[in-house]
Structure 1
Amino acid sequence: MYGTDEIQSISVQAKKIDNLDAAGKKAADVLNSRKQSEFTGKYEVLNLKEIQEGISKMTNIMTMIIGGIGVMNIMLVSVTERAREIGVRKALGATRSKILLQFLIEAVMLTLLGGLIGIGLGYGGAYIVSTFAKWPPLVSWQVVVGGVLFSMRLGIIFGLIPANKAAKLDPIEALRYE
């Protein structure tokens, strides 16, 4: 398949998941102990559980980035649609920082609501799975608080660009906007 007569990989499976590291180490030790055979070489042990965890982390990161970009786009549309409102507020004396704060708070509230809905769906999913699997749902309050704080942080990060755009609007141009 690879155009060579050499062995490219060997698959080893542990009987119990708790023995993964020990099985991998033992397999590498056996191969490394061979002298001048077809198994001589450098060996790397790949644990599929670690690979799966890495893929899961990357998926989570990509999901958060995509969600954050979605929030940013919604907020940018909101700034565009509310240009006259922003112009009126500025004409009546609203400062740049007040406009910035208003849009940041809106972005944080949007992501907070999304985070709470996600936590509710996650808990509901855990409850449904636990009824079929006969396991108690394991949802710790630390994870819930961490999720809420993380979603609020995303609101701040991805709300900065739209909030800054709203704060920088020229009141005269904003009042002309249709």
Structure 2
Amino acid sequence: DKLLHELASRGDQGFVIGELTEGPPAKIILTTQAKKFRAYSMLGYYNTDMNTNPNVSDQKCCCGNGTSSTTGSQALTSQKIYVDFLKSVASAGVLNPKTKELILLALVIMARCEPCLQAHYKKAIQMGISQAEIDEVAWCAIAMGGAPVMMFYNEFKKKFENGELTNAPSACC
């Protein structure tokens, strides 16, 4: 409790105090002052609390650099809501930043979005994520997406290794 209180006093709103390294039966129940929800796993379900703080990080994320206008059009309103949603998804949560970035990498590879991959690849390298880790999540995406995803990733890597992507965007979409 003392550690959690100290972290909270510094403004930290989410805490990861370890991770499971062995298999089932494993169950973690977290409690906070936030809203209850039912979480599901392959072992069944358990109740936990989720931090529902509406504050969103300013971290740039895929598609998170859109602009809005005061014209009041439905399209611009939808765009702003979508951009806010993307920022929320990319912000700190239960997953540590490295795990979240590896998942995002796999997803943009699966989606075959080169601007997104450039931004997330650059961010992963800056975070210290190794090429072996990047390749491993890429192969997870390839396993799910098949030959078109493999060809997309191999072409991207070739461009990256040949220095053809020197002006990689910091965000995409």
Structure with the higher strand share, 1 or 2:
2
Highest RCO, 1 vs 2 (Cα 8 Å, sep ≥ 6)? 1
Structure with the higher helix share, 1 or 2:
1
Q: Please say which structure displays the higher CA radius of gyration.
A: 1
TM bucket (normalised to shorter chain) is: under 0.3
What is the TM-score when the length of structure 2 is the normalising length?
A: 0.26
